[in-house]
Amino acid sequence: MGAAMRRIQAGNALTAFGIGFTVPFLYIYVAQVRGLGSMWATCAFIAFALGALVALPFTGRVIDRRGPVPVVIGAAVVASAGALALGLSTSVAPILVSALALGAGQAVMQPALATMIVWCSTPATRTRSFALQFFMQNLGLGIGGLLGGQIVDVDRANSFILLFSIEAVMFLVLAGIIATVRMPQVSGISDGVAKDAMPAGGGWKRLLRHKAMVQFCVLGFVLFFACYGQFESGLAAFGTEAAGISPSTLGFALAANTGAIVVAQFVVLKLVENRRRSRVIALVGLIWTVAWLIAGFSGLGHGSAVMAAAAFVTTYALFGIGEAMLSPTLAPLVADLAPEGSVGQYNSAFALVKQLALALGPLGVPVGAGLPMLYIAVFVVVSLGIVGLALRLGRQLTPAQDNPSLVTERPEPAASPATAEPVPA
């Protein structure tokens, strides 16, 4: 791992550490500490998602034209200002504007950091680099959430100001670290793409005409909606309403998810990095099918409360194993699908798909709470659909795109003496 990659991964981990201080407590902060109630707390989450959805469609072209470094720095500054303002806000309008800025900043950072990792890696090292990024993110979020839980006090608003201030500082630390990164001079990264097969045009038009990428985005939406989109919404509602899971057990389940990722990430990496990506994603669909069936068992009421709790925690752990399998698979595949000079556009498009899935995830709440077995049945079918979509995608990929081990590793490009702009394709 070169110096540039080490700094990118360190900045990514520290940012996740800062985010971990606030994410678990945002609802409590708005609804209870500021006394605005559940409706405005929900609106804060909507504003957070809206900021991401507004910013991401324009992010990719800026990354490809200006390079990812200034985009990360700018997004980190915006996110820092949003986090600090959110901690100091006491009324509805400032909270919503702050959440909008925070959501936009965090969302823009994702594809820009992913592009930096792509530029600083080769096809043979990219899988491991993204696995490390996901590992560091979850470790940072877990530690930040744990420490934040020791600081926070619902009766002291200043404790929440401290949490948001820590998050704001971590964003500025990321900006400082990224400013020191020397990016390599690159003209393109799509070693596995058949260039003559790529459609003509640029930007969104070219992406939408790229059949494999469109199919991959559809698959990504289903993946994110069926997993991340349900964690703190529909599945949580199902657990508390149908399975009788206590809030403390729900906390253990979330911890089991993070723990499974941290423990299994590099074990799983050895199993998937030399295998066909489409088959790995299909296997994740099968694992999540089992997870949803186990969740359904927890809500049947045939066993003890302990069995229901154990089944629910197991569900979250299985989701974590699936996530660990996806982290070295999805992001590198985006990079390998992207034509020269468009990796930022493709990363932004995939990040937008993820945000859409997360924004629509809460639609599962009324079904999970009111029609629990229908909820489980729907997501069992959705998980099986992931299997079919993944296998279908595999037929659209080149052998090198589907199995990165087929790409012969080449020496990493020499770093330029200063942060470089991408060379036009």
CA distances from 401 to 6, 113, 336, 367 (A): 26, 21, 6, 38
What span, in angstroms and rounded, lies between the C-alpha atoms of 238 and 253? 13
Neighbours of 368 (CB within 10 A): 28
Residues in the chain: 425
Cα Rg of the chain, angstroms: 21
As a whole number, mean pLDDT of residues 206-222 equals 93
Whose tokens are 């509602």? That residue is 237
What span, in angstroms and rounded, lies between the C-alpha atoms of 149 and 140? 14
Question: Residue 377, exposed/middle/buried by CB under 10 A (0-12, 13-18, 19+)?
Answer: middle
Name residues whose C-beta falls within 8 Å of residue 418's C-beta, 6 or more positions apart in sequence: 182
Say yes or no to pLDDT of 3 above 80: yes
Token reading at 118: 């792509």
| pLDDT tens-digit map of 13-46 | 999 999 988 877 787 888 888 988 878 887 888 8
Q: Tell me how far apart the terminal alpha carbons of the chain are, to the nearest angstrom.
A: 26
The answer to whether 120 and 185 are in contact (CB under 8 A) is no
Backbone angles phi, psi at 184, to 5 degrees: -75, 155
Q: Which of 267, 274, 411, 263 is nearest to 332 (CA)?
A: 274
As a whole number, mean pLDDT of residues 192-198 equals 42
| pLDDT tens-digit map of 133-191 | 888 888 888 888 878 878 888 788 898 999 999 999 999 999 999 999 988 765 444 44
